[in-house]
Each structure stands twice: as structure tokens, then as C-alpha cells.
Amino acid sequence: MEKPLKTITVLGAGSWGTALAMVLADNGHTVNLWGHNAVQMEEINSKHTNEKYLKNIQLPKGIKGFTDLETALESVETVILAVPTKAVREVLQKVKNTVSRALTIVHVSKGIEPDTLLRISEMIEEEMDETTLKDVVVLSGPSHAEEVSLRHPTTVTVSSKNMEAAELVQDLFMNQSFRVYTNPDVVGVEIGGALKNIIALAAGITDGLGYGDNAKAALITRGLAEIARLGSKMGANPLTFSGLTGIGDLIVTCTSVHSRNWRAGNQLGKGMKLQNVLDEMGMVVEGVRTTKAAHQLAEKYNVQMPITQALYDVLFNDVPPKQAVDLLMGRMKTHEMEDLFNILGEKMT
């Protein structure tokens, strides 16, 4: 049975929003891609390119750029929210003031809000109301926009409190090069996607320091234990962290030059100051903001997160990267399986 074609709005015309717009357009859907920059939207409409974010990529003609939010949202039922965590509330307030019908909002960003310690799905539920929000769906997984735009094989996960909504989003995106799985564990999917950026920053630092693959392998595996420790305390299923949004996302983000978080960490490891790194990147590095939030979550849930603590000290307490790594290596001895026993023990009681 042929799936019905729809008009879908993507809010955020950065690399990830544009790449996902391409997937939807490849599947025959009409895509309204909304952004603030009029010059960028004109480029998308006239040249079918978005060179600032996806170099040398020709966009499908089914993607149309908009700066006017009301026009971009006209008659759509599904909205893809592809803006940085810090912009989520501002954009949602504009959406709420623009529409008078309930939308399915698919968020594809990976972060946690500092101070409130809310996941993005919780921020959406807080900002919207029952007249403007039907369902929230999370799309996450090991996926670089640069490779998705080249139609390289990619697998992601969608999750929602309403699994029918997740399956509808699965159908919207699924094609030969973009495979979509479902997972009912919203907390685990969001926590895995957000916290992997912290570990990627740390992996970039060890590479910048010249420590090589052994150090990176240690960071990835111990980082996964750290993520699972916190996620389980927050109600996630530990098994989620062995899947695409756990170890899968960790691997791709910690090992690829496409990763902004790895690149930022790499520059920090080479001695660059944080603000200079962020200025040079010119794009949002979610891991910096997430490190602050995760540090607060570790205190709230009384969870040991030594890698997060070390990175927090580098980013916000001016601890030299080498000193932070050396302190990590000198920690008190412990049993590797202790975390697993504790996590599974808590879930079984």
C-alpha cells in the first residue's frame, strides 16, 4: 500500500534540518524549510543549495525555504524541530502564537536545558498546550548531516509516549538509505543522544593531547557506563544505551571529524581557549551546554560521573585539559562490572 504524501515543515535550516528535509523530499513529501536568514532562504529557493551548512550538495526541488513562520506552518500536521536546545523555547513560543491546531512535533536536537534540567520533549510539553500539541516524537541516533545529505546508509531511532505517532514518523522518513527503528524509551533515547556529546568533547580533548586510540576507547566505554548510570536513575531502560542512541551515537560522535563536539574538544586539547573555539566553529556545540546540565543532574540524582566532572572543570573552572585527564586516570580503583550490577539491580528491585 502506497503511503500518503504530506506537506511537512522543518524549523531550522542548519545542516541537520536541511539533511532531514532532503530525506523527506526524497520520499516525495513537500517540505517547508523555515529559517531566519532571508539570503539563505533565497539561495535554497533559487539555487537549491545551502552552501554554508552542506557544501556541494544539490537539494531536491521539493524543499522550499521560508522566513515567514505563518506561511511555513500553513495546513501542516507535522513539524520537525531542528533548532539548538537554547533556541527551543523561543521558536516554540512563536509556533504556539501562530497555529490554532494540534501539531505532531518531532524534535531532532540533542541536549538538556541547564538549571531546569528538562529534556527537550519536556520543554516542548511545557511550552505548548493541548490545543497546539498532539504528540511529541524524538528522532535520534548515529547520524551526521553531511553523510545523510550524500544518501549514505544511516540508521536512527524514533521514540514517543504514543507509539502510533512514532510509527507514523518512521513511515515519513524510512527509505533505502535512511532506516528508522522505533523504541518506546523516550527518556533513554533523549539522555543517550544528549550525553554522548559530553563524551565526544572529552574524546576530542584526548586526541588533541595526542593520547591516541587507547584513551579514546577507554573514554567511550566508561562514558557509556556513566550515561547508563544517570539515565537509569532518571527512569531509562539500560538496554537502550546498548542500541543506536547509546553506543551507536557514542561511536560516531567520538570518532568522526564531522562531529562538532569532537572538533571543539580537539582544539581544547591543543590549548585553545573555549570562547575562541566556539567563535571559530561558528555553529552550536551542544556538548558545552549539556555538560553544565549533566553536572547538575549528577548532583541531583547523586550519581558519580567522573568524565562529566572532569570536562566541567576544563570548560568552566579553567582546569588544564592534561591535568583533568591525569586526574581521571588516577581515580580510586573499582570493579568494571560494578556499574552493570548496580544498574540492573536497581531495575530488578
Amino acid 154 reads: T
CA atoms of 239 and 127, how far apart (whole Å)? 30
> Rounded CA gap, 281 and 85, in Å?
17
* Residue 241 DSSP class: G
For residue 143, CA distances in Å to 155, 230, 259 come to 7, 23, 10
Show Cβ contacts of residue 14 under 8 Å, excluding neighbours closer than 6 positions.
53, 82, 83, 145, 283
Give yes or no: 196 in active site.
yes
Please state, as a whole number, how many other Cβ atoms lie within 10 Å of the Cβ of residue 35: 22
Catalytic site residue from 196, 233, 292, 300: 196
* Residue 1: count of CB within 10 angstroms of its CB: 3
- Nearest CA-CA partner of 113 in 97, 102, 127: 127
Cell readout for 43 is 539561495
Pairing of strands 133-140, 103-107: parallel
Query: Could you tell me if 137 and 169 are in contact, meaning their C-beta atoms sit under 8 angstroms apart?
Result: yes
Map grid coordinates 507509539 to a residue. 163
Give the active site residues.
196
